[in-house]
Amino acid sequence: MSILSGKHILLGVTAGIAAYKSASLVRSLIKAGASVRVVMTEAAKDFVTPLTLSTLSRNEVHSSFTKKEDVNAMWTNHVELGLWADLMIIAPATANTLSKMANGASDNLLLATYLSAKCPVYFAPAMDLDMYKHPSSEASFLKLQSYGNIMIPATSGELASGLIGKGRMAEPDDIVTFIESDVLSKLPLKGKRVLITAGPTYEAIDPVRFIGNHSSGMMGCKLALQAAALGAEVDLILGPSNIKVDHSLINVHNVVSGDEMYEAAHTVFKNCDIVIAAAAVADYKPVNVAPEKIKKDDKNIHIELTKTKDILSSLGAIKEKQYILGFALETENEVDNATKKLHKKNLDAIVLNSLNDKGAGFKTKTNKITFIEKNGSVTTYDLKSKAEVAIDIFEKITAQVV
């Protein structure tokens, strides 16, 4: 999964021969998981049709404030388009459009939308060699970058005029790669490595039976996705779960038993900056595992159990620079019990779940948490989706580690 997955991207297309590449650019952005809308100048329609871009983006293409052929036409709200976007890309960006952008001109929908955008704006120049080198173009490049816009440099090659030199718009896949790298470099957890344990563990009784619990692993998986969205490289150690996590920054380690989770966690722990133990590890396991299925008969059976390894305590005992966050599921004296666990296991913070809270706990899409820090700070949150809870948790973490 690309870092652009789920992003709202507004693509501005201007009237240059490189406009034909905008179709491939839309496809590449869609492939990366982004939602794409297109705004183009009227003159750009001479180079690529709105129908092509609409089909590829799966959204209506806008080129004017109203549809002139429709007497009942609605106004195209450039402000709304600008606010919708997480990123705006102007590609190709002609010398004419760049000059207008630099000087605040607003004589078409694309320029009005650019001036309304509150998001990062990328521009990919496309023009002939002499135009690219002209002092006015260079002044536009510098002025736009001084406004905070990000320039995607043109490349060298054969140009529409037949000349060979700099001025070719970057290739669509290279534009996507450039933006992905730029977005990633600015994320708060860029360069950080996060270890997350998630899901249940199954402790075998025999080849077909086990001791386990009802954890789905959803909370831990949402935390992994949020960590990756913030730029971290994530090691997700996931017990038996039906949830699939697909992200280029997440390395999933599938395990079954508590011992396997223990070994996996200790393998990657040393190189981690942040550790979140969200797994519901079985507290006990059978001393002896039957090699064959235990046959059912009329007699009761007795299974001797022993404690499983305490993964969180073992990591807390050897931590150096790591920030460690645990989870506590309680039913009584919740804050006191969770706080005791925090200090006993040498944690930096703990997330408290109470089974007394409706909508929290296992097998739900929501959660209600209390975030307790080692300095005694206690923050209680309302019931939210687990994705929103993951955002809240990482806001607390990044305040401490970034």
User: Cis link prior to 172 (omega < 30° from 0)?
Assistant: no
CA 353/CA 392 separation, integer angstroms: 14
Task: Please name every residue paired with 280 in a beta bridge, in sequence order, or none if there are none.
Answer: 200
Burial label for 315, CB within 10 Å (0-12, 13-18, 19+), is: buried
Measuring CA to CA, which residue among 296, 295, 285, 289 is closest to residue 213? 285
Measuring CA to CA, which residue among 199, 299, 205, 295 is closest to residue 254? 199
Cα-Cα-Cα-Cα torsion 152, 156, 160, 161, nearest 10 degrees, comes to 130
Identify whether 213 is a catalytic site residue: yes
CA 323/CA 213 separation, integer angstroms: 27
| H or E element in which residue 252 lies | strand 250-254
Measuring CA to CA, which residue among 101, 100, 93, 88 is closest to residue 11? 88
Measuring CA to CA, which residue among 186, 202, 207 is closest to residue 292? 207
Residue 240 φ/ψ, nearest 5 degrees: -55, 115
Structure tokens at 11: 């693509």
CA 88/CA 156 separation, integer angstroms: 24
Q: Catalytic residue, from 59, 77, 96, 213: name it.
A: 213
Pairing of strands 250-254, 233-238: parallel
Q: Decide if 189 contacts 161 (C-beta within 8 A).
A: no
Structure tokens at 280: 């519901």
Q: How far apart are the first and last CA of the chain?
A: 24
Residues recognised as catalytic = 213
